Amino acid sequence: MESRRRDHEELAQEVLGLLLPHTGGAFRVGITGVPGVGKSTFIDQFGTDLTQEGRKVAVLAVDPTSQRTGGSILGDKTRMAQLAFDDNAFVRPSPAGATLGGVTRTTRETILVCEAAGFDVVLVETVGVGQSETIVAEMVDFFLVLMIAGAGDELQGIKKGVLELADMIAVNKADGDNVARAKAAAADYRRALHLTQPTSPTWNPPVVTCSAVEDVGLDEIWQQIRIHRAKLDATGELHAKRQDQQIRWMWSMVDDRVVERFRSTPDVMAIVDELEADLRAGRVTATVAAERLLAAGRAR
């Protein structure tokens, strides 16, 4: 599914076509949060709790990709020591690449493969960089935002951006001397949520505190995820939401393919280096360069 080779992509679509009747039964949960919030530790403990109650958990953990080298450490398995060796869990670290929103280009399709393989909970961990987190929210049923107390005013932009997407906010690391601060932060987020439009008319996003290290509050989070699923199932919202996601996915793939084919057009490739050199030298504006590239593409 992740291969960029054309023959692999064609085979992947054939496989997906056969698997589609066996998909759709899992809880699809997106988990995001600022760097340092403890996403990997949270998922490791949360997923372990779920496997211990008999569920099969797939974790699609996206690793940050270096903008300089294009490399990725893919170290999520080392940070999820319990799930990495759990027979009822599957952890797949994938490089984020150039995709905004901290998810790989093929994460949506990988979700379907995991569902067909029998995993009834799919957790998608994002990089948590605060860019286009809507991409994650539009491929899952439930969007969980992890926060920490005392993160500083510099993170307010990230917090504001995801609050409108959140189906639940959990203030993590509510342990030791940090319990009071975590509770105070949770109260602040509850007040902030009153100023946002809920993602569903039948759901008001709860705000809780938890500690992944001490395994406190994670059972309540799972309970809320199940309640959310039941409510959206009862109203038909879940089915409609997934249908809308499929349509947006289609147009997203169209956008990707159009840009990919445009950039590989011989006439575009013939002038792109020269235009980039002109841009660096200040001889043309970005708008003029873009128009010339578009004209070259149209000439084909």
**22 pLDDT higher than 50:** yes
**112 pLDDT higher than 60:** yes
The predicted structure's pLDDT at residue 6:
85
pLDDT 10s digits, 215-227: 999 999 999 999 9
**139 pLDDT higher than 60:** yes
**277 pLDDT higher than 60:** yes
| Domain spans of the chain, in order of start | 24-235, 251-298
The predicted structure's pLDDT at residue 272:
94
Q: How far apart are CA 49 and CA 226, in angstroms?
A: 15
Tell me the pLDDT band of 194, cut-offs 50, 70 and 90: confident
**Mean per-residue pLDDT over the chain, rounded:** 85
**155 pLDDT higher than 60:** no
**125 pLDDT higher than 90:** no
Show the CA angle centred on residue 253, arms to residues 117 and 96, nearest 5°: 65
Please give the CATH topology (third level) of the domain spanning 24-235: Rossmann fold (3.40.50)
The predicted structure's pLDDT at residue 103:
52
pTM of the model: 0.85
Poorest-confidence range of 49-63, 88-102, 247-261, 283-297?
A: 88-102
